[in-house]
Structure 1
Amino acid sequence: MINKIRKTRKKRILVISASGVQGGIQSIYLGVNGTDWEIISHAFMPYPQKVSWLMETMSGNGSQLKISEFGWLDYKISLLLVECAKTALAQTPAALRVPHYVVLNKPLLWRGATGENLQQSYWDIPVGD
C-alpha cells in the first residue's frame, strides 16, 4: 500500500486541526502535486458551549475536573474531529473522498515542565483520540 501511495503523483492530504479554548476544529483537504498544492475543500466547526467551558476550566491553574467530565470531553472532541473531517470530505466528488494521508492536531489542554530543574522535559494533556 505504501509503495502505491509513493507512486501516486497527485496526493490528497486531510489536515484536521483543533484549536484552543475560544476556537474550534478545522479540516482542510489538500491536493498536492510536487511543489504545487490546492485546497480541495475545508470545514470549520466551533466548539459547543459546554466543550469550551470544560476546556477553559481544565486549562486553568489549580483547576479541578471530575474524571467523568474529562472522559466526556475526550469523547466529545473525538466525535467533533470525526464530524469535521466527514464534513470536509462530503464536499468533494466521490472519487476524491479517500485521502492518502491524514494529519491530526489534537487540542492541548495543559502543558507543564517536569524534572528537578524544570527545563527541557515537558508533559501535556491532550484530548480527542
Structure 2
Amino acid sequence: MKVILVDDEPTMHLILRKMLVKLPGVQVAGAFTDTESAASFLSENTDIGLAFVDISMPGGSGLEFAAKMEALASPLQIVFVTSHKEFALKAYELSVVDYLVKPVSQERLQRTVNRALASQRGIHSSSLAAANIP
C-alpha cells in the first residue's frame, strides 16, 4: 500500500518513514508539510491508499483535509497522528481509520497499518463482488 505523510514538522516525516519502512507492503510515496500540497499530489496520484495526517498545521488543519477528502468521495484512508488528544471524537466523525497520539510506538503503528490493509482488502472484495452480480 502506498502512503503519504502530511505533517508540518519534517522531523515527524523522518520518524514515520523510519517506522513505516519496517512494515511489509508499505511504501511511502510522499511527505508534505501542508494539506494543500498533499491534496494536489493526491489529485495526480490516485493509487495512494493511506495518509498519515497531523491535525494542527498552519494553512489548513488535518480535520479540514479529511473532510475535503470525504466530500470528494476519495478512497484514501486517513490516520491522524497528533499531539492533540482532544480532537479524537471530531476525527472519528470523519470516518478515519485511526487516531494516533505522538509519540507513536512501532507496535501501535503496525496495528493501524494492518487495520487499513484489511479495510482496503474488504473494499476491493466488495467492489469485485458487485461487478460480478448478474
TM-score normalised according to structure 2 size: 0.31
Richer in helix (by share): 2
TM-score normalised according to structure 1 size: 0.32
